[in-house]
Amino acid sequence: MSRTQFAADADAAVADVADGATVLIGGFGAAGQPVELIDALLRQGAKDLTVVNNNAGNGDVGLAALLAADRVRKIVCSFPRQSDSWVFDELYRAGRIELELVPQGTLAERLRAAGAGIGAFYCPTGAGTPLAEGKETRVIDGREHLLEFPIHGDVALVKAHLADEFGNLVYRKTARNFGPVMAAAARTSVVQVSDVVPTGSLDPEDVVTPAIYVDRVVRVGVAA
């Protein structure tokens, strides 16, 4: 029997996110960003959040709106600045948000490590740069590596394309991005989908995130 719950709406899906939570938010820029869940979190009121995302918000919607409302204490990401990151830029220059910059591949692997139960791993990316400051190092095969630790989330907000009634997920093309590793890395994963289909109607070969990693699903009726 599936452990996945199906929420009535996005507000119900994020109702128990606590102040100070670490929230993993899927998306590569706008692609795969769970905007409806972020908007619900904005209405819900949780504050002092640590957010993990590839970016630091685009324009004035979604993650950027959460930042603009002063609800995020710290952001962990790979690309904090781009042409439309004016919300983050203003907050950072004013000292109103903390930034942990993580190379993109390292970010993905730190999330994957959390879901896989890996305690830590060595990675050469960032060695010899300011990103290495304060980190344990080790030379492996003649190359310096940094010791990196998993990123665990209290909650993951993920956008998938479809879920079946058991909670298995499929994604739509590159909108998948960080969704699967974030769903596995969080204590509670909350997933918005465009539709919920009968169990057995998804080809098992197409299922990317199995239901064991999915705690809540909400149908928002928007193509993922």
Q: Give dist(CA 61, CA 73) in Å, integer.
A: 18
Confidence at residue 30, expressed as pLDDT on a 0 to 100 scale:
87
pLDDT for the residue 88: 95
The pLDDT of residue 165 is 96
Write out pLDDT tens, residues 32-63: 999 999 999 999 999 999 999 999 988 899 99
Distance CA 56, CA 54 (A): 7
Q: How far, rounded to the nearest angstrom, does the alpha carbon of residue 74 sit from its chain's CA centroid? A: 14
Domains annotated for the chain, with CATH where assigned, are 5-119+151-219 (3.40.1080.10)
**Residue 67 CB-density burial (10 A; 0-12 exposed, 13-18 middle, 19+ buried):** buried
Q: Is the pTM of this model over 0.75?
A: yes
Predicted pLDDT at 166: 96
Q: From 140, 160, 137, select the one nearest 148 (Cα to Cα).
A: 137
Report the candidate in 64, 57, 39, 49 with the shortest Cα–Cα distance to residue 17.
49
- What is the rounded CA–CA span in Å between residue 123 and residue 130? 15
| pLDDT beneath 70, residues of the chain | 1, 222-224
For residue 49 the two structure tokens come to 């959040």
The dihedral over CA atoms of 202, 204, 207, 211, expressed in degrees to the nearest 10, equals 90
Residue 222, pLDDT score: 57
d(CA 42, CA 164): 27
| Structure letter (DSSP) for residue 116 | H
Edge-to-edge strands of the sheet including 162-164?
169-170, 162-164, 195-197
